[in-house]
Copies of this chain bind each other. A is one copy, B any other.
Amino acid sequence: MGWRKKMETRNLTLLLDFYELTMANGFLQESPGKIGYFDLYFRKVPDQGGVVVYTGLAQVIKYLDNLNFTDSDIEYLRSLDTFDDKFLDYLKNFEFKCDVWSMKEGTPAFPNEPLITVRGPILQVQLLETMLLNIVNHESLIATKARRVCMIAHGRPVMEFGSRRAQGADAATYGARAAVIGGCLGTANVLSAKQFGLKPLGTMAHSWVQSFESEQDAFAAWMRVYPHNCLLLVDTYDVLKSGVPHAIEIFKQLQAQGINGPFGIRIDSGDITYLTKQARKMLDQAGFTNAKITISNALDEDVIQNVLEEGAQIDSFGVGEKLITAASDPVLSGVYKLVAVQEDGQLIPKIKLSNTVEKTTIPGFKHPYRMYDEDGKARGDLLLLASEKIRQNSKIYNSDPNKTIQTRRLKKWQLKPLHQQIYAAGKLVYQQPATLAVKDYSQEKISELPEACLRLKNPDIYDVFWSKQVRQLRTKMIDEFTN
């Protein structure tokens, strides 16, 4: 077991903003019995899109299950001369006691809906802020981007190839998982594939081809090693003059041995449209209509859309840095806001004002629902206070102040809760599905949405409604503070 000594250990409990600790220390002194309710939500869909693919719950559970301050953490915190002993003892004996509700992972979600709601001792709930946001902001960002890329590929497989340009090891590993949830076929990242049961993908790099005396030698060597999976990278020297002709020679040799594929080429540079059209012709003329063409150079949804419109002949895409970093809009700005406190059994809604209505929080302990019509199509979401029961035909209010029609009656639609309880008093009460099941769930839920909100450019805004109680509470609290 020599490797054991080399295994790194890891504890993310201290991965929090310092102010979570200064506040928690303050809460213990000033508000020891206070219960806090926090909503985690985002305000804007990246890339001006219409929908976010909520992702990250699996890692949130892993994080919460592993919460613990080590002796070394406590000594470090003590050395900062900021916290009192009572607080350090509290951390040392930290016992997670919160209730957590969350949407299921993979759920398509919309601005200002609580993806996660946490209730518990306010200092505990506060301490979770940084990591919950870090996880959900990152993974949802990548799944959301992957959905865009995969949608525009119109059924052609998209492979996640971005580890080398990801923002760190977690970004590569959890990002690959999120990309698969968002629609990718698999990933080049072997660690992620192993950890999450994904399909590991890839064949050769330029270095393989370069390392031999000639491209022919390199391809022939590859054929000897992988006769039954001969996918050749054809752009090390010259795609059409050298790479494709040499690949065809190899495919012929394999055919002569009775091996009929899979055959394929990958092009990683140059004018994708021109090169793939020419390569397709050359392969077809040589009788290899079954040989697949993969493309992998700085792709994103815009480039894919353009080259497909130009008639590029592509069977699959390897998408790298622009997916794994969501380069066109690399931040999902999720926030984690106090919406209520509870003291001596009394629930007190809380608000954070802002100079824009949109950035002003929605007070109260709430759960989101999705409204389905008779055909099983989602017609909008609805935010209710946790304490309320809504009746058929109730008036509901559009949360978007820009919509012309602000109110409607709750139809005979089915209300399905979007929140599941994940933790009850600190105990995990939810069974998180495997990643590929999350992907299936996500695609099913996306298929229930109006197509217009899935569009990549200028999507229709999906309706999120508030109950009368939610709306009145917010209006009243804004008035109180501004009058």
Chain A residues with CB under 8 Å of chain B are 2-3, 6-12, 14-23, 25-27, 29-31, 34, 36, 38, 62, 65-66, 68-71, 73, 76-77, 80, 82, 122, 126, 129-131, 133-135, 137-138, 141-142, 161, 163-175, 188-194, 200-208, 210-212, 221-222, 224-226, 229, 236-238, 269-270, 321-322, 325-327, 330-334, 336-338, 341, 350-355, 359, 481
Contact indicator B12/A191 (Cβ below 8 Å): yes
5 residue pairs bridging A and B, Cβ less than 8 Å apart: A15-B173, A16-B163, A134-B166, A135-B168, A236-B353
Interface contact A207-B36, CB-CB below 8 Å: yes
The answer on a CB contact under 8 Å between A207 and B17 is: no
Smallest CB separation, A318 vs chain B (Å)? 10
Q: Determine the distance from Cα of A26 to Cα of B175 in the docked complex, in whole angstroms.
A: 28
Which of A25, A82, A192, A208 has the most CB atoms of chain B within a 10 A radius of its CB? A208
A52–B194 Cα distance when bound, in Å, is 34
3 tightest A-B CB contacts, nearest first:
A168-B170, A19-B202, A133-B164
B190–A16 touching, CB < 8 Å:
yes
User: A21 to chain B: which residues have CB within 8 Å?
Assistant: 190
User: With A30-B224, A225-B30 in contact, is A333–B165 under 8 Å at CB?
Assistant: yes
A14-B191, A129-B164 known; A350 and B210 CB under 8 Å? yes
Closest to A233 in B: B19
- A355 and B67 CA atoms in complex are apart in Å by 52
Bound complex: CA A296 to CA B367 (Å): 31
Residues of B within 8 A of A212 (CB): 31
Q: Which residues of B contact A133 (CB under 8 A)?
A: 164-165
Q: Which residues of B sit under 8 angstroms from A15, Cβ to Cβ?
A: 163, 169, 172-173, 189-192
Residues of B within 8 A of A18 (CB): 188-190, 193, 200-202
Of B134, B204, B338, B352, the residue contacting A169 (CB under 8 A) is: B134
Contact at A22–B68, with CB atoms within 8 Å?
no
A146 to chain B, nearest CB (A): 14
A338 to B209, CA, bound (A): 10
> Which of A34, A191, A207 is packed against the most chain B CB atoms within 10 Å?
A207
Q: Which of B131, B188, B359 is A17 in contact with, Cβ under 8 Å?
A: B188
Contact of A331 among B38, B170, B191, B321 (CB under 8 A): B321
Looking at the assembled complex, report how far the CB atom of A53 sits from the nearest CB atom of chain B, in whole angstroms. Answer: 16
Q: Tell me which of B129, B165, B201, B269 contacts A359 (CB under 8 A).
A: B269
Are B8's CB and A10's CB within 8 A?
A: yes
Set of chain B residues within 8 Å of A7, measured between Cβ atoms = 9-11, 66, 70
Most chain-B Cβ atoms within 10 A of its Cβ — which of A141, A167, A188, A226?
A: A167
Chain B CB within 10 A, most for which of A131, A171, A212, A481: A171
What is the minimal beta-carbon distance from A44 to any residue of chain B, in angstroms?
A: 12
Cβ contacts under 8 Å, A334 to chain B: 164
A12, B169: Cβ atoms closer than 8 Å: yes
Given known A17-B161, A169-B170, A321-B333, contact A194–B76 (CB-CB < 8 A): yes
Besides the known contacts A129-B207, A130-B172, 19 further A-B residue pairs in the complex with CB atoms under 8 A apart = A7-B11, A9-B9, A10-B10, A12-B191, A15-B191, A18-B202, A26-B208, A26-B225, A26-B226, A29-B225, A36-B207, A80-B200, A130-B163, A130-B189, A134-B163, A168-B171, A168-B173, A169-B170, A210-B350
Q: In the complex, A70 Cα to B195 Cα: how many Å?
A: 13
Q: Which residues of B contact A135 (CB under 8 A)?
A: 168-169
Q: Which residues of B contact A207 (CB under 8 A)?
A: 23, 36, 38, 126, 129, 337-338
Contacts of A353 in B (CB 8 A): 236-238
Partner of A6, one of B19, B66, B138: B66
Query: Looking across the interface, which residue of chain B has its beta carbon closest to that of A24?
Result: B208
Interface core residue of A20, A134, A334, A481 (most chain B CB under 10 Å): A134
CA distance A255 to B133 in the complex (A): 38
Distance of A231 from chain B, by nearest CB (Å)? 10
Contacts of A142 in B (CB 8 A): 167
Please pick, from B73, B189, B211, the residue contacting A350 in the complex, using a CB distance under 8 A.
B211
A211 to B223, CA, bound (A): 67
Taking CB atoms, residues of chain B closer than 8 Å to A225 are: 25-26, 29-30
Which residues of B lie under 8 Å from residue A3 when comparing CB positions? 11, 68-71
